[in-house]
A = this chain, B = another copy of it.
Amino acid sequence: MTPKQKRVLDFILGFVEEHGFQPSQMEIAQGCGFESLGTVQHYLRSLERHGLLARQANAKRGLQLTANPPCLPFAKGATLTAGTIAKGGTVTPPPLGANVTFLELPLVGIVAAGKPVHAFELADAIEVPSAMAGPGNVVYEVRGDSMVEMGIMDGDYVAVHPQSVAENGQTVIAEVNGSITIKKYQRKGNIIQLLPANAAMSPIMVTEDDEFHIRGILVGSMRFYRKWTGKSST
């Protein structure tokens, strides 16, 4: 982004902050010292291409800022109003004041995909699609790379359905000697193995001496990217 572009963006931002509504193109021109609307037009298009701004066609003052999207604008527990997309594609605005509670799951621990880390509890919450929600479900943040071959990477969030038994091949979140880890479950007779999905790592053998129990199995995973890098984040 060029300095000029940033200036225009900042102007819009400040204008909205001050007035409570979006500036018209003429106001932007005056505010930024442009003689021509064409110039404003140019910058608006430019910002739009960069994804920092969205415009509604032909709408007066129809600018919508997206710059540094307030990543988690709503505190946990906040209730928001939701809309539905009806079949056929029209957006049905929600009935006024119909508050829908967000689907949030508690974030209760950090899972080690590599070496087990000590289990600890967090008092936080993560929004999830309803398909990942369910009674008792919780979200873990993944630490380590042992599941990369299954597409679960360091920093990912996984939604977990609580249950204490598993079938072979399922991905489980399990506690082994006080440490919590995410692995594939494999059992033959009395021999339980926790298999990583990473060729560079070796399975964990669970013996009778180990304190072991399954916390739940994987029902979903999510990853958030920062706009300005290609990297995973949070």
Residues of A at the B interface (CB closer than 8 Å) are: 1-3, 5-6, 12-13, 16-17, 19-22, 48-52, 54, 56, 59-67, 69-91, 93-104, 106, 123, 125-132, 134-136, 148-153, 156, 161-165, 167, 169-171, 184-185, 216-225, 227-230, 232
A129 to B101, CA, bound (A): 13
Which of B22, B87, B136, B224 is in CB contact (< 8 Å) with A220? Answer: B224
A99 closest partner in B (C-beta):
B81
Q: Is the CB of A130 within 8 A of B131?
A: no
Question: Which chain B positions have C-beta within 8 A of A228?
Answer: 167
> With A84-B104, A94-B91, A131-B72 in contact, do A163 and B230 touch (Cβ < 8 Å)?
no
Question: Which chain B positions have C-beta within 8 A of A184?
Answer: 230
Q: Is the CB of B66 within 8 A of A230?
A: no
**Residue from A78, A85, A153, A184 having most chain B Cβ neighbours under 10 A:** A85
